[in-house]
Amino acid sequence: MSFPKSLTILFPLLFTLLISFTIVATFAVLNKCSYIVWAATKPSGGMCLDPGKSWTVNVNPGTTGARI
């Protein structure tokens, strides 16, 4: 049993389109300084990081104009 030619071409295209809408970026902010650092993201907010502490920031798909 074989797939129709149009389905063989269409499936990779649809799969690629589906994957492109579900990718999420993750950033890890790590304080390597010997003093407290106030890390901030726009639009999420901020956090106080003691020396050696980290903060994980997840960015939703389609986010534009964000900053760390």
- pTM, to two decimals: 0.57
DSSP H helices, 1-68, are: 5-20
Distance of CA 15 to the CA centre of its chain: 19
Q: Is residue 1 part of a domain?
A: no
The beta strands (E) that lie in 1-68 are given as 25-30, 37-41, 45-49, 54-59
Q: What is the per-residue pLDDT for 11? A: 66
- Rounded mean pLDDT of the chain? 76
Tell me if 4 is assigned to some domain.
Answer: no
Instruction: Provide the domain limits for residue 62.
Output: 24-68
Q: Which two tokens stand for residue 4?
A: 């129709």
Q: Is residue 39 part of a domain?
A: yes
Higher per-residue pLDDT: 36 or 60: 36
Domain count, the chain: 1
Any domain includes 43: yes
Residues 7-40 have pLDDT tens digits of 566 666 666 666 555 567 788 889 999 999 998 8
Confirm whether 37 is domain-assigned. Answer: yes
**Which of 11 and 61 is assigned the larger pLDDT?**
61
CB of 54 within 8 A of CB of 47? no
